[in-house]
């Protein structure tokens, strides 16, 4: 166990170094420079551009820029080129905004997809199963932005509540129940949107896992013994079908920072995805690289946790 942890730790360090190099190269080898973003602006005289380039080490060779950047990142000194604010602080603020969306979305995904999937598996081939299958394909295939507009039209014309942004402008003077309702409405639709694809995929996965286990000999034995169907389904089958899902807890982790660019732009939600999008538009390299780096670290930590969980849950796995 310890040797596995040690080995995979070293492996992940090497991976993250390569990720940092590749993302740095991708960004810096692309044509154009951040100092050329706005060449027509009269404030950008050649001297200013030169000072700008010196300030951010843009006049150094590439490998020195790389070292400077990651040195700054690890000492927490990276600043955004756009507004000179600390990047880590910016990310943290946006992360707090994205967090409620992420939490609600995850809860919706995990609580809805299990009942749907289990029921489909138990009544395989029935009307319920077939319509659930069709609907999950529908939800996988619908473009997120299109679904967002359908939901906006529906909610705005039916319930007459504003949904864009994090809260209605100027509502903080109102009484607290209406403020709370307002926050919930604003939170609900983006999180439902974020969860739809997850619900569809996860419920299909639950269904196939359940079917796999229901075909096993011990389930047939349990049925043959004359146990009540509920006991067979929920005690014998479900508990064994759950094993792969324990490991998926680790894989949720990257979603913490991956806040959807499209959904956050549509709903003007000031989250991480939107910040990354704005950074791309402004060629704010420190922000782009930091978001990329943090999310790569989260992916690696997530796979690590899921490996460990798998070993804990399933004693047959020995690495």
Partner 1 sequence: MIEESASPPDYGLEQPLAPRRTRLEEFWLLFRQNRLAIMGLIIFILFFCIAFTGLLLTSGSDPVFDPSLVRLQEKLRAPFSKPHLETLRPNEIPTLGIYLLGTDDLGRDVFSRMLQGAWVSLTVGFVAVGISVIIGIFMGGIAGYFGQRHIRLDQVLVTCLLSAGAALVFFNQAKWGAVLLVLGHAYIFYLLLMRLIAVRKIPPKRFELLHLDTISIDTLIMRLVDIMLCFPSFFLILTVVALLPASIYNIMIVIGLTSWMGTTRFVRAEFLSLREQDFVAAARALGVDNFRIIFRHMMPNAIAPVLVSATIGIATAILTEAGLSFLGFGVPPPHATWGNILSDGKNFIFDAPWLTFVPGFSILVVVLAFNLFGEGLRDVLNPKLRERH
In the complex, minimum distance from the CB of residue 172 to partner 1, in angstroms, rounded to a whole number: 28
Neighbour tally for 184: CB within 10 Å = 11
Residue placing its CB nearer to partner 1 in the complex, 187 or 275: 275
Distance of CA 310 to the CA centre of its chain: 22
How buried is 128 (Cβ within 10 angstroms: 0-12 exposed, 13-18 middle, 19+ buried)? Answer: middle
Residues that bind partner 1 (CB under 8 A): 11, 14-16, 18-19, 22-23, 26-27, 30-32, 61-62, 133-134, 137-138, 140-146, 149-150, 152-153, 215, 254, 257-258, 261-262, 265, 273, 276-277, 280-281, 283, 288, 291-292, 295-296, 299-300
CB–CB of 247/256 below 8 Å? no
In the complex, minimum distance from the CB of residue 94 to partner 1, in angstroms, rounded to a whole number: 14
Alpha-carbon distance 86 to 275, whole Å? 14
Residue placing its CB nearer to partner 1 in the complex, 117 or 254: 254
In the complex, minimum distance from the CB of residue 215 to partner 1, in angstroms, rounded to a whole number: 7
Residue placing its CB nearer to partner 1 in the complex, 150 or 312: 150
CB–CB of 286/69 below 8 Å? yes
In the complex, minimum distance from the CB of residue 42 to partner 1, in angstroms, rounded to a whole number: 26
In the complex, minimum distance from the CB of residue 272 to partner 1, in angstroms, rounded to a whole number: 10
How buried is 164 (Cβ within 10 angstroms: 0-12 exposed, 13-18 middle, 19+ buried)? Answer: middle
Residue placing its CB nearer to partner 1 in the complex, 79 or 279: 279
Beta bridge partners of 86: 79
Dihedral (CA of 93, 96, 101, 103) sign: positive
Residue placing its CB nearer to partner 1 in the complex, 179 or 205: 205
In the complex, minimum distance from the CB of residue 229 to partner 1, in angstroms, rounded to a whole number: 20
Residue placing its CB nearer to partner 1 in the complex, 97 or 133: 133
In the complex, minimum distance from the CB of residue 317 to partner 1, in angstroms, rounded to a whole number: 18
C-alpha pair distances (Å), 318 with each of 1, 12, 242, 307? 8, 19, 19, 11
Residue placing its CB nearer to partner 1 in the complex, 19 or 242: 19
Which distant-in-sequence residues (6+ apart) come within 8 Å of 311 by Cβ? 1, 4, 317, 318, 319
Beta bridge partners of 79: 86
């Amino acid at each position: 166990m310890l040797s596995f942890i040690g080995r995979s730790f070293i492996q992940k360090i090497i991976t993250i170094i390569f990720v940092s190099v590749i993302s740095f190269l991708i960004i810096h080898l692309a044509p154009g420079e951040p100092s050329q973003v706005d060449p027509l602006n009269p404030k950008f005289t050649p001297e200013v551009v030169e000072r700008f380039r010196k300030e951010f080490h843009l006049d150094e060779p590439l490998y020195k820029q790389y070292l400077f950047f990651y040195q700054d990142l690890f000492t927490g000194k990276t600043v955004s080129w756009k507004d000179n604010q600390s990047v880590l602080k910016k990310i943290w603020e946006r992360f707090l905004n994205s967090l409620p969306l992420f939490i609600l979305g995850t809860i919706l995904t995990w609580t809805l997809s299990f009942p749907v999937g289990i029921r489909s598996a138990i009544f395989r081939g029935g009307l319920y199963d077939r319509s659930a299958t069709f609907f999950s394909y529908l939800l996988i295939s619908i473009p997120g932005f299109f679904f967002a507009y359908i939901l906006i039209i529906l909610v705005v014309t039916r319930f007459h509540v504003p949904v864009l942004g994090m809260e209605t402008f100027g509502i903080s003077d109102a009484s607290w129940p209406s403020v709370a309702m307002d926050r919930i409405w604003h939170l609900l639709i983006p999180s439902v949107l974020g969860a739809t694809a997850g619900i569809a995929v996860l419920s299909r996965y639950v269904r196939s896992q359940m079917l796999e286990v229901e075909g096993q000999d011990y389930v047939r034995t349990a049925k043959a013994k004359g146990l009540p169907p509920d006991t067979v389904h929920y005690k014998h089958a479900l508990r064994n079908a759950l094993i792969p899902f324990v490991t998926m807890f680790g894989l949720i982790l990257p979603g913490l920072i991956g806040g959807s660019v499209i959904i956050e732009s549509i709903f003007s939600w000031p989250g991480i995805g939107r910040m990354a999008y704005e950074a791309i538009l402004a060629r704010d390299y420190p922000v782009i690289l930091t978001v990329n780096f943090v999310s790569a670290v989260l992916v690696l930590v997530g796979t690590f946790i899921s490996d460990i969980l798998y070993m804990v849950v399933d004693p047959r796995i020995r690495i």
